[in-house]
Amino acid sequence: MGTPDFAVPSLEALANSEYEIGAVYTQPDREAGRGRHLVASPVKQAAIARGLRVLQPIKLRDKESVEQLVDLTPELIVVAAYGHILPREVLKLPRYGCINVHPSLLPKYRGSTPIASAIVQGEKVTGVTIMLLDEGMDTGPILRQVEVPIFDEDTTGTLTARLATIGAKVLLDTLPDWLTSKTEPQPQDESRATYSRQIVKEDGEINWRLTAHDLWRRVRAFDPWPGSYTRWAGKRLKVVKAIPLNGGKKGEAGTVIDLQRSSPAPAGVITGDGVLGLLKVHLEGKKEMSATEFLLGQRGFIGSSLL
């Protein structure tokens, strides 16, 4: 049971193993793009490519969906970013329970945005947790955990891809011991629990009164979605890549300044503390480009104020 790209490596790993996949559950096709055409989830596309049976119930709580799952007689259900909370009837159904591939070191960052949240908070380490699902939100006992470093250049996109690959391997490493009762589930320490909140489009709007380091982490955390954006010359300007710079630059937060040639960035923006160096930007109506290219075509940028 899974939906986005994060879940695909786990599906592929299971499909390449000795385990038999009775069915693949994923979210219903969604409208996307300018034409609002229905698009299948990455998991559905991967499952179809392998000739696997795909089921897409709108929700798992109705009687028909539960009965359909009962008819499959699953011995184990593997979940990875499915997008549905499994009801009690489903959790109790498989002989070996329902296990989840979660991209954080639980109990830290329970919820739907653990990867972006870890980057925003400046964590140096995250990881993958294989856990037994219960009726709570990522509260079940832990079967295995693996730590994964967060690099300075990591975005949510790059870190998600790395955790997905590692998660698939940890999943396969966990299953043999779990299925032969050699693994004892360990309860989570509730006193250390934290939750990741849902990210919305408005979170991408840059508040230049934050510190340069805060904004640098947010630029990375909101890549690829919703992106980090400000406004210049009446248009949306997206900051695609940036670097925090220490220094006593004086001026109003949001003011664009020219930087010395020895700086890694050609221009920066004064923040509440420090300067955010611009490396790559995307102006509405234009293509994404380096800050150096952008400055060549936008002479009035230096000295302007970003809103």
Model pLDDT for residues 81-102, shown as the tens digit of each residue: 999 999 999 999 999 999 999 9
Lowest-confidence segment of 102-111, 209-218, 248-257 by average pLDDT = 248-257
pLDDT, tens digit, for every residue of 233-270?
A: 999 999 999 999 987 678 999 999 999 888 899 999 99
> In order of start, what are the domains of the chain with their CATH numbers?
5-196 (3.40.50.170), 202-297 (3.10.25.10)
| Cβ-based neighbours of 26, under 8 Å, separated by 6 or more | 1, 2, 3, 41, 43, 44, 47, 54, 55, 56, 82
The structure tokens 């009837």 sit at 89
pLDDT value of position 155:
98
Question: 222: how many CB neighbours lie within 10 A of its CB?
Answer: 25
